[in-house]
Amino acid sequence: MTWIIVGGSSGLGRALAERFAAAGCELVLLSRDVRDTTPLASHLAIKYAVKVSPVAIDLNCNPLPFAAIDSILEGHLPLKGLLIPAGVNDDSDVVGMGDTTLEYLTRVNYLAPCQLLNHYLPLLEQNSGVIVGFGSVATARGRSRNAAYAAAKSALESYFESLAHHAANSGISCQYYVLGYLDTNLAFAQDLLFPLASVDRIADVVYRRRFSSGRRFLPRPWYILYRAVQFLPWVIFKRLSF
Ligand SMILES: NC(=O)c1ccc[n+]([C@@H]2O[C@H](COP(=O)([O-])OP(=O)(O)OC[C@H]3O[C@@H](n4cnc5c(N)ncnc54)[C@H](OP(=O)(O)O)[C@@H]3O)[C@@H](O)[C@H]2O)c1
């Protein structure tokens, strides 16, 4: 069976590609260009003897070029899963940012993942498939920094909850992972208070739990921190800078 990995060129998406290919899954790897995914696809195809196809797609474009992905899928085994680890943040993502940044962060982190999910939902329902989304502990509470990123990921989480409600009667599995800090580009050069989690370990959990449903925090201790931030009195929270 075939799995689409949206954002399969680096970080968690790359680790998921390695994990699913190792298990014998065919893959379609989406990212803005194919300079990273083409050598990755060749590497995985040789190492695990599976078919892996790179596709260039910019999630910031509207409408999304579904025809390009669909024509690649025609040469693959039936679609079993859609994994959406793609995400982006931006240094200029502070309250009062310009429209271009706001629209870009909203489109890549929320609208495009939902449009992909909507497009492939009927096919995945036919194939008793799997849809997996990825959020962030940044959604615990709105801050002046990462404002649009956190808002988009909160919206994505809500959409995935709606999907889970729908999926309960439709035969698909649907998971949403709220992630703490990862050892990837997205966290690079950021002043972070906590250790970074290995993407290989996260990818392994996602693979092992692929046929379950629900929302989970990874690594799990982040749930405690997430809730603690939510319960902080406003007089303390408003003084924090993180
Ligand atoms: N890193 C962290 O500490 C952290 C913490 C909490 C949550 N998360 C979430 O975890 C997920 C994985 O993060 P990560 O650290 O693995 O990210 P990453 O290493 O920066 O990788 C992001 C992926 O998204 C793709 N992407 C970004 N913008 C795109 C666009 N416009 N069109 C198509 N593809 C695009 C990138 O591909 P190209 O750049 O090649 O196009 C890349 O494959 C994200 O959803 C992120 O929000 C990360």
Regarding the beta carbon of 187 and ligand 1, being less than 6 Å apart is answered yes
Task: Please give, one letter per residue, the 3-state secondary structure of 111-128.
Answer: HHHHHHHHHHHHHHHHCC
Please state whether beta strands 52-56 and 79-84 pair in parallel, antiparallel, or not at all (unpaired): unpaired
C-alpha 139 to ligand 1 mean position (Å): 16
Distance CA 57, CA 37 (A): 12
**Mean of the per-residue pLDDT values for the chain?**
95
Q: pTM to 2 decimals?
A: 0.96
pLDDT at 161 > cutoff 70: yes
Tell me what percent of the residues of the chain surpass a pLDDT of 70. Answer: 97
Distance CA 107, CA 119 (A): 16
pLDDT tier for residue 48 given thresholds of 50, 70 and 90 = very high
- Please report, for the domain that includes residue 83, its CATH number: 3.40.50.720
Amino acid 115: pLDDT: 98
In a domain, 171, yes or no: yes
- Domain housing 7: 2-237
Which residue minimizes the CA distance to atom 11 of ligand 1? Answer: 85
> What residue type is assigned to position 179 of the chain?
L
Regarding the beta carbon of 9 and ligand 1, being less than 6 Å apart is answered yes
Q: Quick one: 119 exposed, middle or buried, by C-beta within 10 A (0-12, 13-18, 19+)?
A: middle
170-227: pLDDT as tens digits: 889 999 999 999 987 766 656 666 778 899 999 999 999 999 999 999 999 999 999 9
In a domain, 91, yes or no: yes
In a domain, 125, yes or no: yes
Q: How many domains does the chain have?
A: 1
Closest to 178 in 3D by CA, of 212, 132, 146, 211: 132
In a domain, 242, yes or no: no
Regarding the beta carbon of 32 and ligand 1, being less than 6 Å apart is answered yes
C-alpha 234 to ligand 1 mean position (Å): 31
100-120: pLDDT as tens digits: 999 999 999 999 999 999 999
Sheet bearing 214-218, strands edge to edge: 52-56, 26-31, 2-6, 79-84, 130-136, 173-179, 214-218
Mean predicted confidence (pLDDT) in 141-168: 96
Question: Which of 5, 12, 83, 178, when mutated, tests ligand 1's pocket best, judged by the most ligand atoms within 8 Å of its CB?
Answer: 12
